[in-house]
């Protein structure tokens, strides 16, 4: 797994997780490396962690227009908190907002509030509660290193289990999608194939995603990248886009963290375009008609271009409405 972060307010810095075992932080100022071992569980353990049903939240448990902290209990008994923002009017669906390595900060809560204003119940689980309750970090160098250490301690499978708990807990409110930023974008991308009950995922500038050239996502996936991101080379992004026709990928004339208005890497024009794409995508996937999986999706490309003769399909078979 690979993800990148900023080592200061300018968002300059790179963190790399390779198979959850090696950690490397490259700071633009000192270019020093920090290597350590990352404890992690296995995919089988992740399945066990999320195997039991989790507590479900219902409309009676919320107040329209309310923003508050709630608690959820994972299958292994772990209790964690989450920030929940509820729209004042009708609910279009649920958006799970996944944090960067700084915790569920004021910036993440602001994002959740913005989704609520657009008609979505937005929930941001505190993934660091596995290690330290309620932690929120700044963007300085010390916070980056501390955040990376917390990511290591949480581990991939525990993060997936808590995300799955959040999705299951909110599923009674409507269809559920995920929007993640940086580390959260990588988790969102991974959740598309690990977490059941999702209708779609969206990721912003998630490092490591572009290394996956073959594994198709199980739900519709939208990804945003900055063409000038120093941590995701555009040459690599071009190869990724050509290799992954199953994904909707957009790039903008911006750098890393271009959608975070708390940093000087913020690009208002690119952030607005990405927001419009995200909002349209989520509205279609969460509020629109149910998505239909194509029965023979990808069969033509895997057959080397040789089509097979098939019986005429019934009118009710597959095709989703175009975006």
Domains delineated in the chain: 14-292 (3.40.50.1820)
Whole-model pTM: value is 0.78
Give the model confidence (pLDDT) of 34-89 as tens digits: 322 333 344 445 545 554 544 555 555 668 888 999 999 999 999 999 999 999 99
The residue among 56 and 278 whose pLDDT is bigger is: 278
Give the model confidence (pLDDT) of 94-105 as tens digits: 999 999 999 999
Give the model confidence (pLDDT) of 129-180 as tens digits: 999 999 999 999 999 899 999 999 999 999 999 999 999 999 999 999 999 9
Where is average pLDDT lowest: 55-59, 196-200, 265-269? 55-59
Question: In the prediction, which pLDDT does 296 show?
Answer: 52
CA dihedral of 36, 7, 225, 116, whole degrees rounded to 10: 100
CA dihedral of 134, 207, 219, 92, whole degrees rounded to 10: 50
| Beta-carbon count within 10 A of 305 CB | 7
DSSP state of 102: T
């Amino acid at each position: 797994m690979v993800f990148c972060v900023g080592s200061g307010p300018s968002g300059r810095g790179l963190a790399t997780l390779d198979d959850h075992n090696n950690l490397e932080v490259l700071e633009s100022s000192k270019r020093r490396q920090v290597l350590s071992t990352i404890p992690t569980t296995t995919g089988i353990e992740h399945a066990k962690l999320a195997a039991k049903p989790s507590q479900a939240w219902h409309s009676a448990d919320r107040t329209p227009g309310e923003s508050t902290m709630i608690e959820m209990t994972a299958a292994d008994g772990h209790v964690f908190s989450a920030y929940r923002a509820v729209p004042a009017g009708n609910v279009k669906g649920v958006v799970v907002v996944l944090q960067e390595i700084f915790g569920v900060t004021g910036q993440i809560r602001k994002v959740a509030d913005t989704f609520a204003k657009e008609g979505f119940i937005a929930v941001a689980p505190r993934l660091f509660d596995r290690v330290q309750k309620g932690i929120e970090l700044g963007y300085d160098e010390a916070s980056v290193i501390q955040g990376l250490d917390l990511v290591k301690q949480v581990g991939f499978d525990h993060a997936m289990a808590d995300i799955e708990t959040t999705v299951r807990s909110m599923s009674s409110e409507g269809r559920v999608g995920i929007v993640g930023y940086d580390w959260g974008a990588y988790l969102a991308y991974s959740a598309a194939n690990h977490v059941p009950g999702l209708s779609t995922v969206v990721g912003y500038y998630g490092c490591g995603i572009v290394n996956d050239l073959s594994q198709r996502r199980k739900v519709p996936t939208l990804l945003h990248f900055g063409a000038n991101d120093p941590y995701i080379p555009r040459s690599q992004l071009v190869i990724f886009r050509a290799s992954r026709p199953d994904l909707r990928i957009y790039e903008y004339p911006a750098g890393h963290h271009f959608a975070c208005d708390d940093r000087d890497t913020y690009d208002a024009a690119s952030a607005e375009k990405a927001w419009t794409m995200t909002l349209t995508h989520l509205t279609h996937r969460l509020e629109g008609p149910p998505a239909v999986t194509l029965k023979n999706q990808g069969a033509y490309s895997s057959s080397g271009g040789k089509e097979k003769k098939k019986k005429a399909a019934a009118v009710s078979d597959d095709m989703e409405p175009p975006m």
